[in-house]
Amino acid sequence: MKIIEVSGLSPWEQAALTEKRRKELLEKERTRPLKFNAWETPPDLFNPLNDEFHFNLEACANDENHKLPLYFTEKTNGLLQEWSPRTCWVAAPYDNPTPWVRKAYEETLKGATVVCLLREDSSTNWFQNWVFNKASEIRLLKKRPRFLYKNTEKGTPPTSSILAIYRGKVTESKWVYQD
pLDDT tens digits, residue range 137-147?
999 998 888 87
CATH code matching the domain that covers 34-178, chosen among 3.10.20, 3.40.50, 3.30.519, 3.30.70 = 3.40.50
Domain with CATH 3.40.50 in the chain: 34-178
Nearest to 132 by CA among 84, 89, 174, 83: 174
**% of the chain residues with pLDDT over 70:** 74
Q: Give the pLDDT band of residue 118 (cuts 50, 70, 90).
A: very high
pTM of the model: 0.77
Compute the chain's Rg from CA coordinates: 17
Q: Return the pLDDT at 36.
A: 46
The mean pLDDT of the chain is 82
